[in-house]
Each structure stands twice: as structure tokens, then as C-alpha cells.
Amino acid sequence: MQTPTSGDDRPHGFYRLVIPLMIAELVAALELTMMYAAMRGLVADFGGASRAGWLITAFILSSAAGAALFGRLGDILGRRNVLLWVLALSTLGSLIGSISKDLGWLIAGRTLQGLVGAIVPLCFGMIRERVSLSRVSFGIGMISSSVTIASSSGLVIGGLIIDFSDWSMIFKVSMGLGIIAFATVMIFIDKDKPADSAGLTEDLLGGLLFIPAVVSLLLGINNAAKHGILETASLVWLGGAILFMAAWVWRELRVANPLLDVRMLARPEVIWPNILMIFIALGAYQGGQLMALFGQQPLSTGVGLGLTATSAGFLLFPGNILAGLATPFAGAAINRYGPRRVASLGCLCIFLPFVILAFCNSNALVVIALLIVQAVGLGIVYVTMPVVLVYATPEGRASEATGMLQVIRSTAMAIGAQTVATLLSAGSGHGGGAGLHNLPTPGAYQTAFLYVAGTTLIAMLVCQRFPGTLSNSTKDEAPT
């Protein structure tokens, strides 16, 4: 495994770097989740969920494609430089959204906002580059804490904005946050070392092929979820994704210094964290979708908690906050106990609550307690994956590797969301009143809970392939 280079281990030097990065990550997390709260008004203003839904889809597509590509550009051109560009473009997108009432311009603004998907890999890469070995895991844990807390708070903050204003105010708030983050990074984070753009100029085609491959794949999954995988548009998008992906892999395997190194991604110490992300995103990351529906389902159906939409949103809130507070300590624990044990513990904390939920889910307090345990477990796993990756990759490709992790998460989450929706709809059929006949049955929820537990059990087995300790015996290598 690779080892982070020595950095400034003084507390003030560490926090001078990490706190601005946490502020930058707040922008990325809030720009996605706050918009969910505005969807009802956007649907009304733009004539339907399918049209307004592009404001979410455009953000997700841009975020997924930009995570690895801009992460890699940060490796080459300097991570602080690229982070500032990402924040500037995102803030420009917020400005466009704050002054426009045209759907096309709003989609363009959301596409620019989506570039914030690169912030996490850029932050992880900067931790890898600038923090001493003893604090890398703790630093990644703090960045992850910012992600978790902001994501869980976004719906609440967005809801408050909508209650007292309209959806354009969300763009204004995002613009203000972007300006603050940009200024904080510029003032408090030292400039990058001189950039070497050779890797970019040698293989620009590698990046150009990667973008349509990812975008086509996610559009194909999205269309298949709505219209079926055999629908013409779904087949076209998925077929295009296969062709672009094959062309991208073919190209990168034939370049001496590829922009996105396929060979590195295939190394065992790199591929196992990515496989773990697949199973976690397929299952555990669907908890929000699953519990939002479960919490709101009327008691007359024989399952669910009968909560309002707002109350149901708070089911996951305590767990997410506690998970955010716990993740820095989880990062520190990886140094002491090793990634294999810590990741396995995290998976166990997800697995057991969902097994229990499958058979015991009628008491709201019990449900909240179980969701707290699973949220903390998910936070632990979320920290462990990038820690393993930044130790396993050369410093010059750390943001690329963690960016690819974000792409894999987006793809697997899209597939997992459709899987959970299918499991729930397959068991629908309640009577008992108007509008209740299509709600999931108790058996459907039980199947969905056990599905999440099953994917987590597989993830726990994958964790056994993680290293037992974070070794510092191997020096950085050139890209293979």
C-alpha cells in the first residue's frame, strides 16, 4: 500500500486546512438536498414532475461525471486551483438559478452546480497531499462528517426556506454559501505546488470519452426505471454507455500516461473498496427512500408509522447527526484497529438493525433507535473506503481514485433505488380507503428490509479483503 507524504502535523496547520475543506463540502451536500424540498413548487411552476425532475437529474449527471474527471484534473493542475474553479462555476450556476424563471436556464444552472460532486475527491486528495500520515484518516473522517451532517440537514433547511419564501431563495442561499466557501479556501489554504499539465495534454481524449460513458449509463438507468429496460430509449442509452465505456477502456489501456488510469483501478487494493461501495449503495444507501415511505404509510394499512411528511423526514435525522459526529473518531480508529475491523463493525451496525426492522417495526422509538445504529454504521463504512483508497494509490492520483468511488456510488444508488421500488411495488395491494390500494404490504417491506440486510452481509464479506492495518512501509509509485 502507498503512504501519504509527510505534512504539517501541528494542530493549527491541520485545522487551517480541514475546516475550509469542510465548509466547501457543505456547499456540495446542501445544493443537492435543499432542492428536494423545493420540488413541489417546481413541479407546479413547470408543468409536471418529469420536467421539473431534470433539475435533479442534471445535477446528478454533472456530479457523477465531474467527480472523477475534475478530481483527476486536481491531481494534475493542483487541487486547490481546481477546487476554486469548481466553487466558482457552482456559484455561477446558483446565480443563474436565482435570477431565471426559464426551465432551460435553470437546468443549465443546476448542471454547473453539479460540478460540486468533485469537491469530495478534491478534499480527500488534498488531505492525502498535505496532512501527515498520522492524521490522514482523522482528516478524511472530518470531511465525511461534514458530508453526513449537511446531507441530513439539507431537507430541513430547504423546507424552512420554502415555508418562508420560494424556490428561487434556495439558489440565493446556495450562491451565498458558494461565495463564503470560495473566499475561505482562497484565504486559508496555501497555494498548490507548480502544476504539471503533461498528463492532461497527453490524454485529453480519455476524459472526453469518460463523460458520455457515465452520462449515458445514468440516463439509461433512469429511463429504465420509468419505462422499462426494453424500452427503445433505455436500450439506446445503455447501448451507448457500453460503446463509450469500451472505447474509453481501450483508449486508456494504450496510453503511457492515461488521464484516468484503468490499470490502477483494477488493482486489488483499489478494487475492493469500490466493490464494497457497490453493495453499500445498492442497499444501505436506500434507507432514506425506504424509511420515508414507511414512516408516512397510514396505520390503517397494517404497516408503517402514520407520520406526516415532516415527521417522517426526522426519522433519519438523529442518526445522521450522530453519524456525522462519530465519523472523525471512526477515521482515527482505522489507524489503531485497521480498516478491516472498522469496516466490518460498520457493516454489522447496518446489518443487524435492518434484520430487526424486518420483524419489529411497529414502534416509532424502536425504529428511530435502530436507524441511529445503522446511520452510525454507514458513516463508519463511508469513512473507511476513501481511507483505504488514499493509502493504496499514489499521491498524484488520490483524487482520481476517490472520484471514481463517487461515480460508482451514483451508479449503484440508481440501480438500488429501482430495485427497492420494484420490491415494494411487487407487494402493493392494500385496500382500506382511497389512495391506499397501491401502498406496499407488510410482506413487501419485510422483503425490502431483508434485501438491505442481504447486500450489507455481502459487503461485510468484502470487508475481509481489506488490509488488516494501514501500512506505511511502501513509498509512492509512479502510475502503472
Query: Domain check: are 373 and 431 in the same one?
Result: yes
For the segment 85-110, the average pLDDT, to the nearest whole number, is 94
Distances (CA, A) of 405 to 120, 277, 390, 409: 10, 7, 11, 6
Query: Domain check: are 96 and 189 in the same one?
Result: yes
Whether residue 102 is contained in a domain is answered as: yes
In whole angstroms, give the CA distance from residue 448 to residue 456: 12
Distances (CA, A) of 360 to 353, 412, 446: 10, 28, 10
Give me the half-sphere count of Cα atoms (radius 13 Å) on the Cβ side of residue 234. Answer: 11
Whether residue 161 is contained in a domain is answered as: yes
108 pLDDT more than 60: yes
Confidence of residue 23 (pLDDT cuts 50, 70, 90): very high
Query: Domain check: are 359 and 386 in the same one?
Result: yes
Of 176, 194, 212, at which residue does a domain stop? Answer: 194
In whole angstroms, give the CA distance from residue 184 to residue 180: 6
Query: Domain check: are 36 and 126 in the same one?
Result: yes
Query: Domain check: are 282 and 421 in the same one?
Result: yes
Query: Residue 4: enclosing H or E segment and its boundaries?
Result: none
Residue (of 91, 149, 69) closest to 325 by Cα position: 149
Quick one: how far is CA 107 from the chain centroid?
Answer: 20
Distances (CA, A) of 2 to 141, 185, 319, 342, 343: 19, 27, 34, 19, 19
Q: Which three cell numbers stand for residue 374?
A: 445503522
Length of the chain: 480
Query: Domain check: are 232 and 280 in the same one?
Result: no
Query: Domain check: are 265 and 250 in the same one?
Result: no
Whether residue 95 is contained in a domain is answered as: yes
CATH number at residue 325: 1.20.1250.20
Model pTM score: 0.86
pLDDT digits (tens, 9 = 90+) for 174-188: 999 999 999 999 999
For the segment 272-285, the average pLDDT, to the nearest whole number, is 95
pLDDT at 427: 59
pLDDT at 24: 94
Confidence of residue 437 (pLDDT cuts 50, 70, 90): low
Query: Domain check: are 316 and 351 in the same one?
Result: yes
Distances (CA, A) of 377 to 327, 380, 382: 9, 5, 9
Residue (of 296, 90, 120, 263) closest to 180 by Cα position: 90
Sign of the Cα torsion 312, 316, 318, 321 reads negative
For the segment 109-130, the average pLDDT, to the nearest whole number, is 93
Whether residue 199 is contained in a domain is answered as: no
Query: Domain check: are 38 and 164 in the same one?
Result: yes
Residue (of 261, 311, 271, 297) closest to 408 by Cα position: 271
Whether residue 211 is contained in a domain is answered as: yes
pLDDT at 480: 33
Whether residue 376 is contained in a domain is answered as: yes
Residue (of 386, 395, 338) closest to 5 by Cα position: 395
Q: How many domains does the chain have?
A: 3
Of 145, 166, 194, at which residue does a domain stop? Answer: 194
Query: Domain check: are 280 and 317 in the same one?
Result: yes
Query: Domain check: are 285 and 248 in the same one?
Result: no
In whole angstroms, give the CA distance from residue 312 to residue 293: 8
- Domain around 9: 1-194
pLDDT at 447: 94
171 pLDDT more than 90: yes
Confidence of residue 228 (pLDDT cuts 50, 70, 90): confident
Of 167, 194, 221, at which residue does a domain stop? Answer: 194
478 pLDDT more than 50: no
Mean pLDDT over each residue of the chain, to the nearest integer: 86
In whole angstroms, give the CA distance from residue 42 to residue 223: 21
Confidence of residue 216 (pLDDT cuts 50, 70, 90): very high
Enumerate residues 6+ apart whose C-beta is below 8 A from 315: 291, 292, 295, 305, 307, 364, 367, 368, 371
Query: Domain check: are 220 and 275 in the same one?
Result: no
